[in-house]
Chains A and B, each alone.
Chain A
Amino acid sequence: MSLWKLALLIALFNLMTFGNGPVMIPLLQTHLVEGTRVLSQDQLLYAFTIARVTPGQANFYVASIGYMLYGMPGAIVATLAIILPGYIMIPLLHGFEHLRDSRWIEGFTKGLTVTSVGLILAAVVQIARGTLTQPVAWLVLIAMLVMTQLLKWKTFVALAAVSCLGLLLKWLL
């Protein structure tokens, strides 16, 4: 896959998902990990983790993917691919009145969002088959869910805690 094809794919996925970071995961999984195999499963997961612990826009983890595949030029091209569609804002600012009010666009994004919930969960199942090969990994996954959802810990703290837990269990078992 050439750099330009990667840029085109990222630009396309970003447009389709309205720039929503998590929603791009199933698309990237299918096209970069399973389809063309240019990216390993671990790389995609690591990139997504970066998105969860950094400030700022949540779809910037594509810069990480760009960097993994093509170094700094890849990172910059990937970033431009998700930033440039933002300029659609300028014409919209001048003639938005009817568009902003559009129930159709609202319904479209709603449909997109709820569909993506199913797609993301399907991607999770697929990724889990390849990634969670050890029982310890399952325990870490469950611990992470509990810490972030039930205990409401900060992502970074929970990440550090489950990493320690994983290492400890691995060492014990």
Chain B
Amino acid sequence: MDANSSVGLELLNHFYQSRLTVERAAPIAEGGNRLKRSEDKEKRSREQGTRLTRGELFWIFLKAGFAFGGGLGILAVLEDELVDKRLAVTKEEFLTIYGIGRIVPSGTMTALAVAYGYKFGGLSGTVITLAALSLPVFVLTIALTIAYHYLRNSRVFDLLPVTIMPAALALIVVAALKLGKDVFRPSRELIFAGVAFSFALFLRLNPAFILLAGGVLGAFALRRIDVEDRAKKKGSEK
């Protein structure tokens, strides 16, 4: 009980802290509002574990699929729809499923789509949620890739090296900075990142091996110690 609630709290903290820094996901108003109207009266009487129809599942995840801001943008829409508006999932359950989703070796949001699809619609439900969540990004990605093919045959293509390409490189740098807030101060994390950087750049080791080694070593060296131990350690450090 104790362990569970502390994990829950930590997730909650993590979720809301990150959410403050990420802009609220842009909602597509039409999809959600139409479905919401009929629910207001029932809301009070509803118990946890409300069933969702396949249509509702599709709309919720389609709406989430239009959210910007990566995982947290999607998460915000899902929480809004499943927990606040439809009362289909309790807050605690939502955080638990998010916690499990984070240890699934695929995108966390992909894992959440599977979880809720399965919960409300069985295996065929997962197909609905995955399709709905992935539809916007898939269509836009393909459209922009086709645009690239057209660019390639035009004179504009010669201008990419001074426009999109350096900008893309900057975006990669930004992504790296976002990943590792711990990395940029004296810490064990800094050593991990520094060693990985030099092994990859100077020794030309395969990044896949470095990545796996980092994970395995991290399991030993960066494992979170239990709350009391940690507090004790912090006390002795200061």
Closest to B178 in A: A22
Determine if B100 is an interface residue (Cβ-Cβ < 8 Å).
yes
Contact in complex: A64, B142 (CB < 8 Å): yes
Residue of A whose beta carbon sits closest to that of B108: A19
A114 touches B216 (CB 8 A): no
Could you list some 19 contacts between A and B, CB below 8 A?
A: A14-B105, A20-B179, A21-B70, A23-B211, A25-B172, A25-B175, A30-B207, A45-B164, A83-B110, A103-B223, A104-B223, A114-B193, A117-B176, A118-B195, A132-B169, A137-B166, A155-B171, A163-B164, A166-B162
Chain B contact residues, majority secondary structure: helix
Asked whether any CB of chain A lies closer than 8 Å to the CB of B192, the reply is yes
From A54, A56, A87, A140, B162 is in contact (CB under 8 Å) with A140
* Interface size class of chain B, counting residues whose CB lies under 8 Å from the partner chain: 35 or more
Determine the distance from Cα of A8 to Cα of B146 in the docked complex, in whole angstroms.
24
Q: Say whether B114 contacts A22, CB under 8 Å.
A: no
Counted as pairs of residues, one from A and one from B, with CB atoms less than 8 Å apart, the total is: 372
Check if A128 is an interface residue, CB within 8 A of chain B.
Answer: yes
Which chain B residue shows the least CB distance to A81? B106
Say yes or no: B197 contacts A16, CB within 8 Å. Answer: no
Instruction: Tell me if B35 counts as interface (CB < 8 A to partner A).
Output: no
CB neighbors of A among B137-157 (8 A): 137-138, 140-142, 144-146, 148
Instruction: Name 8 extra pairs, CB < 8 A, besides A93-B115, A118-B194, A120-B176.
Output: A56-B74, A58-B107, A79-B138, A89-B104, A114-B183, A122-B201, A131-B161, A149-B174
**Smallest CB–CB gap between B11 and chain A, Å?**
10
Cβ contact of B141, chosen from A16, A54, A85, A149, cutoff 8 A:
A54
Which among A56, A149, A155 has the highest number of chain B CB atoms within 10 Å? A56
Instruction: Name B167's contact: one of A29, A99, A118, A162 (CB within 8 Å).
Output: A162
Q: Given A104-B223, A111-B216 in contact, is the A88-B104 Cβ separation under 8 Å?
A: yes
Closest-by-CB residue of A relative to B195 is A118
Chain A binder among B49-57, B83-91, B126-134: B126-134
